[in-house]
Amino acid sequence: MKNLTKQTKSVKGAEITRRWHLIDASEKVVGRLAPEIVRYLQGKNKLDYVPYLDSGDYVVVVNAKKVTLSGKKEKTKIYTNYSGYPGGLRKISYQKMMNDNPVLVIKHAVSGMLPKNKFRSDRLERLFVYNDVNHPHQEKFAKL
């Protein structure tokens, strides 16, 4: 008698292929853009996604300085960082962060939406954010 059951083949670490995705952030809301980026970084857009392997792709985000926030957050949002020492609380407003380094706004949002596990730092290394449309990864998209 033959064994008629089919086995589900799990993906191996060596079989993972990483693609490149280009996302234009101009006139997009940060809270709507970040989950889209996280989906690609985690690899949840792939059919062979498994949570115990890092099968995510590379993501290039352009036009970071043209990103927006919804509601009144552009005037009221504050990013905080606490060192743990007395007097070690630092606060930066959204407007100041957009003037100084708009790349950090998107990186901070994506970092907050990624799961806090051992893959987080590797996934953030595959995220490339640029202020305008010029970026050094043009040859990756020319092949596609």
Question: 90-124 burial by CB neighbour count: b if 16+ within 10 A, else e?
Answer: eeeebeebbeeebbbbbbebbbeebeeeebeeebe
pLDDT of residue 1: 57
pLDDT of residue 2: 67
Contacts of 54 (CB under 8 A, 6+ apart): 16, 43, 119, 122, 123
Print pLDDT tens along the chain (144 aa).
566 777 778 888 888 999 999 999 999 999 999 999 999 999 999 998 999 999 999 999 999 999 999 999 999 999 999 999 999 999 999 999 999 999 999 999 999 999 999 999 999 999 999 999 999 998 887 765
* CATH code of the domain occupying 19-69+102-134: 3.90.1180.10
Residue 57 CA to residue 16 CA, distance in Å, equals 10
Residue 35 CA to residue 113 CA, distance in Å, equals 7
